[in-house]
Structure 1
């Protein structure tokens, strides 16, 4: 661990238990210094505060991984073009972040901590700005909803067509906004298909509790509506140079990027076995099981294992996805792709670590927005 990462992690422990108050104070400082920035954010800030804290933790954890850190931040800079951010606003945000950390850490805050955060934020801002400046694409794409289908009590699958060409790779995700229902509320959703000649894109959406946008996308959006899509992000993509067999572990609507990867594989794969473990709480949440069964029937290199964690006697595998991964192992020389809720991803990664699967062979995305 570098000195910078040690200082960042040490100082974060001083404020970690005050995360909600810290985030509220942070935004208050930004809006006080530059009131115009408030118009970039939704009326209700509860979810936005949580997203800020997640971004801070991600940056701290990635600071000792230069390659991942660089690409993640450049992608983040491209994504932030949707807010029409200008360089001066990065300075306002950086100053507010340091002031907030200093205020909540109290007397234990040191000059060394202060400088470490300044240095880290400077790197973050420069890489994000570089990513934004190098991007020649639109800040966002308007897309028409062509088809909308409810698949379960709280899940819908919708197909959209961007009005301009939007290039991406299978396994990536985009931020989505519904201007008609919740303007300025952006949430990330994986694209559930590989790029198509007609440019259409599928999304799998679950309505989450009080989630304004997710609820609108599941229950209110209809064919003919327009949504907006931001720049593609994410690195859970196929490495065509690898000849290893693969294991796809998908929980709930985390199936979306797995479907996209499978879609890409059908265009060229002949030699790599692909094991798909698709899990949900109960049989009703296995919303795309029939499509997966058809895929496994059409392509002999696909094996499918559906899993339910809370549906005793449903007729298939029972337990968590992590438990199913262990039962169907060992996986001596496989590439792993894991996608789902943060809790499901964490438990699966812990199990893979116990099974001594090298972290270099694991790609994952955790979707708290799905």
Structure 2
């Protein structure tokens, strides 16, 4: 009933939240477009998972832990619930019956309790955010910067995960970036950031960040990790700057010394956008278990030509492999569909949620 008014609902929700509880306004960025979009995606995801309790609790637990970086407290949940239900009631009209209201009240209470519990458990073992100093910066391609930071205290994560980042120039604006390396002894993390026109955080990181600047990191997130693999044969697929977490997984295989056979496919629209190939080729020379192929879809260059899904099918089948996909959502979705239609088990295809911007959207 309310789906046609989804955008209006989030605008109305934040308007009444800030009017009724002005003390929470300082927790949010000045520009609210991205925040409203995140709220809507989270609500849709919760509704999608309503009949899948295990994954619903898991998703809400992630939300609860991630919200610690905003300064969210248990006392904030009742006002948010009150305003959220008021927004739904306003746009649902006569469909908002006492029965529906009771169901949504119960649902919100469940979600809030899971988030609060996850946040409290997380608080007992680690901080909400980590300050990190930029220690190295280099240009890696048109509009792409490789930025290495050193957290001020230990930061535990797994290769393949992504991290939310806040810059000093845009307080309370958090954007997600995949870590491009497996855990290192010196504790540093490297990000590959593409400057997106109009993307305040990415533009600041690419064009403004310098050695010595201090940024903030949120907790690591994502399940695209090596421990999720069922098979020894791995197929890694990276589109554009989706190479970052894929590179981290290759490093992790090398670090563990496990007997994986790894097939890596890199893709981009043009040759200029196909970055990082030389580094990966050097890794392939060092590790006999790694093979690399590259494909360009919108330009003729020597080597493979075509979209990544097309090239994957040409070199398949991949039904005895664990598959890790990273890149633009459309590429990930089409590659996943092509692979599963040709015998790859869906539970062996790993990728980050489509709604999480990693490197390719503002």
TM-score exceeds 0.5: yes
Pair 1:64 & 2:51 matched: yes
Match of 2:219 among 206, 219, 231: 231
Aligned residue in 2 for 1:202 = 190
Contact 2:133 2:215 in 1 (8 A): yes
1:216, CA displacement in angstroms?
A: 0.6
Verify: 1:151 aligned to 2:140, yes or no.
Answer: yes
CA distance in 2, matches of 1:38, 1:318: 50
Greater mean deviation of Cα atoms: 103-112 or 210-219 = 103-112
CA deviations on 1:116-145 (whole Å, 9 max, x unpaired) are 333332222111111110122111110000
1:162 counterpart residue number: 151
Matched, 1:293 2:281: yes
Question: Which residue in the other structure is 1:193 paired with?
Answer: 181
Unaligned segments of structure 1, at least 5 residues: 1-13
Moved more, 242-251 or 297-306: 242-251
Say if 1:309 and 1:319, in contact at 8 Å, map to a contact too: yes
TM-score of the aligned structures, taking structure 2 as reference length? 0.93
Tell me by how many angstroms 1:337 deviates: 1.0
Alignment of 1:21-40 (within 5 A): 21-40=8-27
Partner SS state of residue 338, structure 1: strand
Maintained 8 Å contact 1:341/1:368 = no
**Residues 119 and 337 (structure 1 numbering): CA distance in 2 closer, same or farther, change over 3 Å?**
farther
Greater mean deviation of Cα atoms: 59-68 or 313-322: 59-68
1:241, distance to aligned residue in structure 2 (A): 7.1
Size of the aligned set, in residue pairs, is 355
2:64 pairs, out of 77, 81, 86, with 77
SS of the equivalent of 1:230 reads strand
Name whichever of 281-290 and 198-207 sits farther off. Answer: 281-290
Q: 1:101 aligns with which of 88, 94, 108?
A: 88
* CA-CA distance at 1:260 after TM superposition: 1.1
Unaligned runs of 5+ in 2: none
User: Is the 1:270–1:301 contact (alpha carbons within 8 Å) kept by the matching residues of 2?
Assistant: no
Comparing 74-83 and 266-275, the one that deviates more: 266-275
CA distance in 2: counterparts of 1:116 and 1:314, whole angstroms: 57
Query: Counterpart of 2:255 in 1: which secondary structure?
Result: coil
**1:114, distance to aligned residue in structure 2 (A):** 3.0
Q: CA deviation at 1:356?
A: 3.4
Deviates more, 1:338-347 or 1:215-224: 338-347
Pair 1:285–1:84, CA change in 2 (3 A): same
C-alpha separation in 1, matches of 2:270 and 2:183: 31
Q: Kindly report the root-mean-square deviation, in angstroms, between the aligned alpha carbons of the 2 structures.
A: 1.8
- State the distance in 1 between where 2:336 and 2:37 align: 23
Higher mean C-alpha deviation, range 230-239 or range 351-360: 351-360
Contact 1:182 1:213 survives alignment (8 Å): yes
- Alpha-carbon shift at residue 256 of structure 1 (Å): 1.3
1:167 match: secondary structure? coil
Matches within 5 A, 1:307-326: 307-311=295-299, 313-326=300-313
Q: 1:363 deviation in Å?
A: 1.2
Aligned in 2, Cα 1:357/1:119: closer, same or farther, shift over 3 Å?
farther
In the alignment, the residues of structure 1 paired with residue 105 and residue 239 of structure 2 have an alpha-carbon distance, to the nearest angstrom, of: 38
